[in-house]
Structure 1
Amino acid sequence: MAKKLRIDEDECIGCESCVELCPSAFEMNADGDKAIVINEDCTDDCVEEAIDTCPVSCIVFEG
Structure 2
Amino acid sequence: MCIPPVNDAPAPHFALTAKIAARNGLKNLSMGMSADFAIAIALGATHVRIGSAIFGKR
Which protein has greater RCO, CA pairs closer than 8 Å, 6+ apart? 1
The structure where strand makes up a greater share of residues is: 1
TM score, norm. by length of structure 1: 0.24
The structure where helix makes up a greater share of residues is: 2
